[in-house]
C-alpha cells in the first residue's frame, strides 16, 4: 500500500471517459515512490472521492471555472498583497508622468492649438517653431529622457505587482494568509529576476521590431516608399504568429521565477515544457481574461471621462479631465494586471499538477506549512531541503 493517500478518481460516463475534470494526465493515479502522506480525499456530493482542498483550489487538475474562481478567491484572502498593492504601485508611473508634464510645461490646450495650426496650414513645417514651440518648449532630448524615465518607473511598478501577487496566490493554494509586507519580503529575490527578464524581453521585442523597419528603410531607396511599406507590413504579418506562439510558451516565466529556485534559463525551460501540448488552452484562457478585462476597463474609462467633464468642464479644464482619465486608466490597468498574474499563477499550478504531480508536494506541505513559505517552491515532485527565507 502507498504511504500517502491515493488521489481521487473522477466519475466516468457510460463510455468510460473521466468526467468533471477532463482527461487526467498520464500517471495521475500513480503516486510517486516514497511520497509523504497528505490530507485524505473526502467523499463528494455524488458519492465519489474528491481531492483535498486546503485553500482556494482542490489539489487536482483544474478547469477554467476552477482557475477563475481561485483568482478571485485569492483577492478575497489577500486584498492588500494583490489589488491594493497593484493600485498603489501603479500610481507611481502616473505620479512620475504628472511631475514630468509639469517640469516640461506640457499643456493640452497648447497641443490642441498646435494641431489646429497644422491642420489649417498643411504645408507648414510640422517641426517648425511656429507650430510646436508653445506645446513643446524644451529640446526633444528632454522629452526622450522623460519617456525613458516613465518606462523605468513602469518596469518597477510591474515587478512590484507581479512578485507579491504570485506569492499570495501560491500561499492561498494551501489556505495560508499573506500580509502586504510578507508578500514583498518573500518575493524580493524573485522580483530582481523578473526585472531582468522584463529588460531582456523589452530588448528582444525592440530588436524584432527594428529588423523589419530597417529592412524596409534599406529597400525604400531602391523600390520606393510604397513597396517598402508593403514589404514591412508583410514581414510583420508573417512574424506576428511566431511572436504569439513564443509569447504563450514563455508566459509562465514570471510566476516560475517566484515559485522555483533561481534561474531565468531554468524558468524559461520550465515554462516551455509546461505549455507543451497546452498552447491553445493557455491562449484561450488568456484571451477570455483579456476580453473581459478590456470591456470592463473601457466602460470605466468612459464613465471617468463623463464624470470628469461634469466635475471640471471639458472646455474650461481639459488638463484636469486628462489627468483624471490617466489616473482611472492606471487603476483599471492595475486591477487587470494583478488579475491576469493571479490567473497565470493558478494556471502554472494546474500545469505542474498535470505534468509534475505538484498536488502531492502541496498535499504533503499541508502537514508542515511553515517549512516552505512559498508552497511548491523547489524541484518538481518532491519538497526540497531548503526553501526561500521566511519573512
Q: What is the pLDDT of residues 208-245, one digit of tens each?
A: 888 878 877 777 777 777 777 787 888 888 888 999 99
Helix (H, G, I), strand (E, B) or coil at 134: coil
C-alpha–C-alpha distance, residues 373 and 170, integer Å:
9
DSSP type of residue 366: T
Which residue from 348, 354, 192, 164 is spatially nearest to 270, judged by alpha carbons? 348
Distance between CA 381 and CA 120 in Å, rounded?
Answer: 69
List the grid coordinates of 161: 505587482
The b/e string for 139-171 (b: 16+ C-beta within 10 A; e otherwise) is eeeeeeebeeebeebbbbbbbbbbbbbbbbbbb
What integer pLDDT is reported at residue 48 of this predicted model?
Answer: 46
| DSSP state for residue 18 in the 8-state scheme | B
Contacts of 121-127 spanning 24+ positions with Cβ under 8 A? none
- Other CB atoms within 10 Å distance of the CB of residue 192: 14
Query: Can you say whether the dihedral through the CA atoms of 267, 89, 295, 345 is positive or negative?
Result: positive
Q: Residue 125's CB: how many other CB atoms inside 10 A? A: 11
Tell me which residue has cell 504563450: 248
Helix axes 318-356, 64-77, angle to 10 degrees: 120
pLDDT at 160: 93
Determine the Cα–Cα distance for residues 136 and 114; give it in Å rounded to an integer.
Answer: 10
* Contacts with 122 (C-beta within 8 Å, 6 or more apart), sequence order: none
Q: Are 90 and 330 in contact (CB under 8 A)?
A: yes
Secondary structure letter of residue 81 according to DSSP: I
Cell readout for 124 is 507648414
Cβ-proximal residues to 185 (8 Å cutoff; 6+ apart), any chain: 391
pLDDT at residue 205, as a whole number: 86
What pLDDT shows up at residue 368? 74
Cα dist. 228→207, 217, 218, 232 in Å?
19, 7, 8, 6
What pLDDT score was predicted for residue 38?
47
Name the grid cell of 209: 521590431
State the pLDDT at residue 107. 54
CA distance linking residue 23 with residue 61, whole number of Å: 9
Below-70 pLDDT ranges, the chain: 1-49, 100-140, 142-143, 304-305, 308-323, 369-370, 378-391
Per-residue pLDDT, 31:
47
pLDDT value for 84: 92
Q: How far is Cα 251 from Cα 273, in angstroms, rounded to an integer?
A: 12
At 292, list the grid cell: 473581459
pLDDT at 212: 79
Express each pLDDT in 320-370 by its tens digit: 666 677 777 788 888 889 999 999 999 999 999 999 889 888 888 888 766
18 strand-pairing partners: 12
Pairwise CA distance, residues 144 & 106, whole Å: 14
Name the H helices within the chain.
64-77, 85-103, 108-120, 129-132, 140-173, 180-223, 225-249, 253-259, 264-274, 279-312, 318-356, 358-365
- Cβ distance 249 to 271 under 8 Å? yes
Q: How far apart are CA 207 and CA 28, in angstroms?
A: 42
- Name, in order, each residue with C-beta under 8 angstroms of 375's C-beta and a sequence gap of 6 or more: 170, 171, 173, 174, 176, 361, 362, 365, 369
Beta-carbon contacts of residue 153 (< 8 Å; ≥ 6 apart): 92, 93, 96
Amino acid at each position: 500500500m502507498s504511504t500517502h493517500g491515493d488521489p481521487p478518481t473522477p466519475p466516468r460516463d457510460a463510455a468510460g471517459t473521466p468526467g468533471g475534470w477532463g482527461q487526467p494526465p498520464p500517471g495521475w493515479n500513480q503516486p510517486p515512490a516514497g511520497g509523504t502522506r497528505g490530507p485524505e480525499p473526502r467523499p463528494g456530493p455524488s458519492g465519489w472521492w474528491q481531492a483535498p482542498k486546503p485553500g482556494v483550489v482542490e489539489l487536482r487538475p483544474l478547469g477554467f471555472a476552477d482557475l477563475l474562481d481561485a483568482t478571485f478567491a485569492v483577492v478575497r484572502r489577500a486584498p492588500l498583497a494583490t489589488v491594493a498593492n497593484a493600485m498603489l504601485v501603479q500610481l507611481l508611473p502616473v505620479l512620475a508622468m504628472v511631475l514630468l508634464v509639469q517640469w516640461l510645461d506640457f499643456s493640452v490646450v497648447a497641443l490642441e492649438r498646435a494641431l489646429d495650426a497644422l491642420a489649417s496650414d498643411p504645408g507648414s513645417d510640422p517641426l517648425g517653431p511656429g507650430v510646436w514651440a508653445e506645446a513643446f518648449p524644451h529640446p526633444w532630448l528632454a522629452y526622450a529622457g522623460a519617456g525613458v524615465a516613465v518606462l523605468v518607473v513602469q518596469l518597477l511598478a510591474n515587478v512590484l505587482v507581479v512578485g507579491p501577487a504570485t506569492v499570495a496566490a501560491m500561499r492561498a493554494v494551501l489556505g495560508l494568509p499573506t500580509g502586504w509586507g510578507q508578500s514583498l519580503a518573500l518575493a524580493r529575490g524573485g522580483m530582481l529576476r523578473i526585472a531582468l527578464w522584463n529588460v531582456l524581453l523589452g530588448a528582444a521585442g525592440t530588436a524584432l521590431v527594428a529588423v523589419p523597419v530597417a529592412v524596409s528603410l534599406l529597400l525604400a531607396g531602391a523600390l520606393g516608399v510604397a513597396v517598402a511599406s508593403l514589404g514591412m507590413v508583410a514581414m510583420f504579418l508573417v512574424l506576428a504568429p511566431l511572436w504569439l506562439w513564443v509569447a504563450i510558451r514563455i508566459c509562465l516565466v514570471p510566476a516560475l521565477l517566484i515559485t522555483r529556485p533561481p534561474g531565468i534559463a531554468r524558468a524559461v525551460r520550465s515554462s516551455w515544457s509546461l505549455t507543451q501540448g497546452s498552447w491553445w488552452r493557455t491562449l484561450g484562457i488568456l484571451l477570455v481574461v483579456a476580453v473581459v478585462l478590456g470591456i470592463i476597463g473601457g466602460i470605466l474609462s468612459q464613465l471617468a471621462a463623463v464624470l470628469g467633464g461634469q466635475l471640471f468642464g471639458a472646455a474650461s479644464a481639459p488638463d484636469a479631465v486628462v489627468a483624471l482619465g490617466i489616473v482611472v486608466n492606471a487603476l483599471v490597468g492595475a486591477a487587470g494586471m494583478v488579475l491576469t498574474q493571479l490567473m497565470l499563477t493558478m494556471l502554472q499550478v494546474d500545469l505542474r499538477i498535470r505534468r509534475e504531480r505538484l498536488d502531492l508536494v502541496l498535499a504533503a506541505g499541508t502537514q508542515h506549512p511553515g517549512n516552505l513559505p512559498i508552497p511548491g517552491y523547489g524541484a518538481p515532485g518532491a519538497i526540497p531541503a531548503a526553501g526561500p527565507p521566511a519573512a
